[in-house]
């Protein structure tokens, strides 16, 4: 009688384990077949993805899908972007099945080919992971990620390194924003936060490096693209079409911490007839007096402009009510490649060649 007492519960547990096991292996098989069919039927898609092999593990409570040597191509009318990534682990069946998580530490190569020219960027991260969100039609609507100990090289030369980089990109088609300067928008938004950004390869002036340092402590903000801008078509023609349609790039919650310099603000960027940036911002700046001293020492502004700037800084600077270094609330503008703080021209910006 005692053995019969436990026979039924044991049978139920055994049945559950058997059903769970069959279900897990069925799902694993479906994932493998589905990915193989996806790779074989991408004709006509602007983005195509490939890999050398697919393997699923994680039984009994996970479905980890391993992609060996994943690669992708994003083709546009004026060129293409190719990607070759590190071996990647995908996780499925989260948030109602519309989110795929990923882990892909290692080296990722991105090559941009347009108008007969080629640029290559290689990013190597000790840690790299995140998630991709999809809508009901299988289109990507969001990408969130975190990279640590990231080294970036451009055209084979070291460009920078970062201690940590977090980003969150999202897109909602035909989303109106009554608060935006361009309310009819594709709704593309990028939230980013970078820390420990090395400037060693930037060729900084020795005085600038001595005053501010060779590493950005923090660079963060939210960028919202208003108007239809194709990220794969940053050619002169594509940018002109975006500009003529009233396109703008809105910057919010911008934060820069670089040595004694602290900047926080919001504003809007666009491009002029020459496809050079123009913009207007309102910023809280701490350490502006030291920046003026530095610009005068390096000859980037004449002594008379520096004297006027010091007077303006002294008038505008206030100590925050909650403590901290004194800050100046000033308008910042970019016009005709001239960066100005209030009425004072500070820097002449280099020409950006979009070809």
Burial class (CB in 10 A: 0-12, 13-18, 19+), 270: buried
How far apart are the two ends of the chain, measured CA to CA in Å? 85
Q: Does residue 79 sit in helix, strand or coil?
A: strand
Could you tell me the residue ranges of all domains in the chain?
171-198+217-355
Residue 269: predicted pLDDT? 92
How many CB atoms neighbour CB 337 within 10 A? 16
Residue 95: predicted pLDDT? 61
pTM recorded for the entire structure: 0.76
Name the one residue in this structure whose structure tokens are 């201690």. 163
Please give the distance of CA 206 from its chain centroid, rounded to a whole number.
Answer: 30
One digit per residue, pLDDT tens: the chain, 355 residues? 446 666 777 777 888 888 888 888 888 888 888 888 877 777 766 778 889 989 988 888 888 899 999 999 888 776 788 999 999 999 876 665 678 899 999 999 999 887 778 889 999 999 999 998 887 776 778 889 999 999 999 999 998 999 999 999 887 654 555 554 444 555 688 999 999 999 888 777 777 778 788 898 999 999 988 887 766 567 788 888 888 888 899 999 999 898 888 889 999 999 999 999 999 999 888 887 887 887 788 777 788 888 888 887 787 788 777 777 788 888 889 999 888 877 666 667 778 877 7
Of the CA atoms within 13 Å of residue 49, those in its CB half-sphere come to 12
Of 48, 86, 82, 84, nearest in space to 67 by CA: 86
Residue pair 238/355 in contact by the 8 Å Cβ criterion? no
Q: How far apart are CA 214 and CA 151, in angstroms?
A: 15
Residue 24: predicted pLDDT? 82
- The two tokens of residue 233 are 């078509």
Residue 187: predicted pLDDT? 64
Phi, psi of 135 (to 5 degrees): -90, -175
Of the CA atoms within 13 Å of residue 116, those in its CB half-sphere come to 0
Residues whose CB falls within 8 Å of the CB of residue 43, separated by 6 or more in sequence, listed in order: none
Residue 292: predicted pLDDT? 81
Residue 8: predicted pLDDT? 76
């Amino acid at each position: 009688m005692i053995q019969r007492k436990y026979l039924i519960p044991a049978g139920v547990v055994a049945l559950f384990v058997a059903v769970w096991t069959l279900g897990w292996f069925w799902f694993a098989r479906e994932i493998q077949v589905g990915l193989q069919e996806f790779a074989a039927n991408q004709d006509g898609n602007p983005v195509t993805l490939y890999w050398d092999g697919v393997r699923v593990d994680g039984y009994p409570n996970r479905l980890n899908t391993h992609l060996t040597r994943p690669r992708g191509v994003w083709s546009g009318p004026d060129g293409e972007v190719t990607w070759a990534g590190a071996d990647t682990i995908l996780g499925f069946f989260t948030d109602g099945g519309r989110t795929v998580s990923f882990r892909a530490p290692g080296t990722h190569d991105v090559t941009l080919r347009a108008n007969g020219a080629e640029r290559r960027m290689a990013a190597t991260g000790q840690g790299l992971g995140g998630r991709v969100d999809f809508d009901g039609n299988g289109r990507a609507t969001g990408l969130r990620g975190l990279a640590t100990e990231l080294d970036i090289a451009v055209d084979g030369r070291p460009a920078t390194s970062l201690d940590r980089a977090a980003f969150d990109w999202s897109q909602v088609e035909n989303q109106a924003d009554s608060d935006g300067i361009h309310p009819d928008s594709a709704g593309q938004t990028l939230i980013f936060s970078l820390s420990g950004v090395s400037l060693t390869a930037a060729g900084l002036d020795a005085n600038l490096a001595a005053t501010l340092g060779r590493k950005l402590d923090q660079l963060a903000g939210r960028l919202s693209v208003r108007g239809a801008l194709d990220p794969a078509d940053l050619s002169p023609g594509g940018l002109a079409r975006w500009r003529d349609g009233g396109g703008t790039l809105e910057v919010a919650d911008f934060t820069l911490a670089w040595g004694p310099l602290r900047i926080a603000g919001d504003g809007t960027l666009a491009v002029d007839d020459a496809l050079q940036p123009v913009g207007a911002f309102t910023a809280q700046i701490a350490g502006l007096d030291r920046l003026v001293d530095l610009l005068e020492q390096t000859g980037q502004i004449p002594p008379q402009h520096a004297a006027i700037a010091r007077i303006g800084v002294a008038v505008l600077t206030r100590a925050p009510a909650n403590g901290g270094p004194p800050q100046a609330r000033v308008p910042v503008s970019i016009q005709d490649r001239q960066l100005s703080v209030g009425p004072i021209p500070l820097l002449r910006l280099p020409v950006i060649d979009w070809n």
